[in-house]
Amino acid sequence: MIIRPTIFEQFPEIIAAQSTRLGGVSPEPFGMNLSSHVGDEQANVDENRRLYYSAIGIGEDAKKVYQNQVHSANVAVAIGDEGVVKENDALITSEANVLLGVTVADCTPILLCDPVTNLIAAIHAGWRGTEQMITLATVRRMLSLGARPENIFAFIGASASLEKYEVGLEVATLFESRHTRELGNNKFLLDVKTANLDQLLYAGIPREQIEVSPLCTISDERLHSYRRDGKKSGRMLAVIIRQ
DSSP code per residue over 40-99: --HHHHHHHHHHHHHHHT--TTSEEEEE---SS--EEE-SS--EEESS-SEEEE--TTEE
In a domain, 9, yes or no: no
Q: Specify if 168 maps to a domain.
A: no
User: Is residue 189 in some structural domain?
Assistant: no
Q: Specify the pTM.
A: 0.95
Question: Hey, what amino acid is at 152?
Answer: I
The residues near 129 (Cβ < 8 Å, ≥ 6 apart) are 71, 72, 73, 89, 107, 123
Least confident segment among 79-93, 160-174, 210-224: 79-93
Q: In percent, how much of the chain has pLDDT > 90?
A: 88
214 cis-preceded (ω within 30 degrees of 0): no
Cβ atoms within 10 Å of 55's Cβ, excluding its own: 12
For residue 125, the enclosing domain spans 14-159+212-242
Query: How far is it, in rounded angstroms, from Cα 190 to Cα 126?
Result: 11
Residue 129 pLDDT more than 90? yes
Q: Could you tell me the CATH number of the domain that includes residue 147?
A: 3.60.140.10
Q: Could you tell me the pLDDT band of residue 83, with boundaries at 50, 70 and 90?
A: confident
Q: What is the pLDDT of residue 231?
A: 86
pLDDT of residue 107: 96
Within a domain: residue 91? yes
Q: What is the pLDDT of residue 36?
A: 87
Q: Kindly report, residue by residue over 171-199, the tens digit of the pLDDT.
A: 999 999 999 999 999 999 999 999 999 99
Residue 151 located in a structural domain: yes
Query: In which band, very low, low, confident or very high, does the pLDDT at 111 lie, cut at 50, 70 and 90?
Result: very high
Residue 232 domain flag: yes
Residue 222 confidence (pLDDT): 96
Query: Per-residue pLDDT tens for 200-235?
Result: 999 999 999 999 999 999 999 999 999 999 988 999
How far is Cα 34 from Cα 220, in angstroms, rounded to an integer?
18
Residue 82, pLDDT above cutoff 80? no
The pLDDT score that the predictor gives to residue 109 is 98
The mean predicted confidence, pLDDT, of the chain is 95
Whether residue 81 is predicted with pLDDT greater than 90 in this model: the reply is no
From residue 149, how far is each of 5, 92, 106, 116, 239 by CA, in Å? 19, 15, 27, 11, 21
Amino acid residing at 195: A
Count of domains forming the chain: 1
pLDDT of residue 84: 80
pLDDT tens-place string over residues 17-54:
999 999 899 998 899 999 988 888 999 999 999 999 99
Structural domain contains residue 105: yes
7 falls within a domain: no
